[in-house]
Amino acid sequence: MQVDLWESWFIGGVEIPTRLVLAPMAGVSVQAFRRQGRRYGAGLVCSEMVSVAGIAHRNERTLGYLRVASDEHPLAIQIFGSEPTVMAEAARMVEAAGADIVDINFGCPVKKVTKTGAGCSLLDEPEQAARIVAAVAEATPLPVSVKMRRGTENGSRVCLEVGPRLVEAGAASLTLHPRSAKQMYTGQADHSLTAELVELVDVPVIASGDITSRARAQAVLATTGASAVMVGRAAQGNPWALAEIMGSPADPSREEVVAELLLFIRETVRELGEFRAAGFLKKFYGWYLGRGRFPKPFKQELVMLSTVEEVEMRLLAAAPGAREVLERIEAEQPAVDDALLELPVSIYGGG
């Protein structure tokens, strides 16, 4: 049975206009990425995971992750940490920043996160995980969602034990990426676990992992009963993957590819500043220009250029028609209230 991906659904009281969610990805999910995802069909977009320790210490770069643009809603800001009281305080700051949903990361398998007792390691500490969810749910009226893996070990089914406890503690939605922490991103996501989790809880479950096409999205939704699918790596430099999942053609011209990359570059520079953006953007050149769209040496040439301005000039020289496409895309962009791009004064804990 075909699922209508354009049908809206709810996390708590927040209406999500489509059944496609853009995943939170460290080093990827900046505003430009999220806003692009919304344009191509994502009903919910997510920030990259934000350290509550960084928030507590008022780290300037960490606080920058809490920026919310007016055209990103609904938006989930994802936080990670291991102490309930610190997580609760961070949730209040996420609310003040303008997010619609507080998302908790119990899925990150990276050692620098798990060694602090956060991320996927909390699946081995279900009581502490439940205390964190309860503290966050009590601290804010926003719906609380949780993203988790199947467990830390290969073959683990601990998500089926922990998931219901998190809902009982106050989670309004669960996202399951049914790989183990040890698997990282190898092997296949076992969505039979997603189907089991759906049967165990009475809140929406989002299916994450290996959602790379419309056919795959429809199959996972039909066989698991999940409320939505989450797309991550497939959308990196490739918003047309989101369009294809939502039922639109996904074969962009060279000019369209360059125009989207140029817009992404400009928005990222606005958000991060030119110095930080120059290094951050390099991985995106290969993502956008790969898949046979441009010769590999062209991507390598861009990476070697010193400034973002040089990259723009080289891209336009390779696809002159992209300028007209870019102008059209920019004209269709909603005006962004710059005031909403700044954090409330209270976020900084001062006057």
Residues annotated as catalytic are 108
Helical spans, DSSP H, in the chain: 31-39, 52-56, 60-64, 84-97, 111-114, 126-139, 158-169, 191-200, 214-224, 240-245, 254-272, 274-280, 282-289, 296-304, 308-318, 322-332
Tell me the two tokens of residue 101. 């949903």
Residue 280: burial class (beta carbons within 10 Å; 0-12, 13-18, 19+)? middle
Displacement of CA 285 from its chain's centroid (Å):
19
Which DSSP category does 342 fall into?
A: S
Q: How far apart are CA 237 and CA 256, in angstroms?
A: 12
Backbone angles phi and psi of 56, in degrees to 5: -60, -35
The SS3 assignment for 71 reads coil
Q: How far apart are CA 51 and CA 83, in angstroms?
A: 12
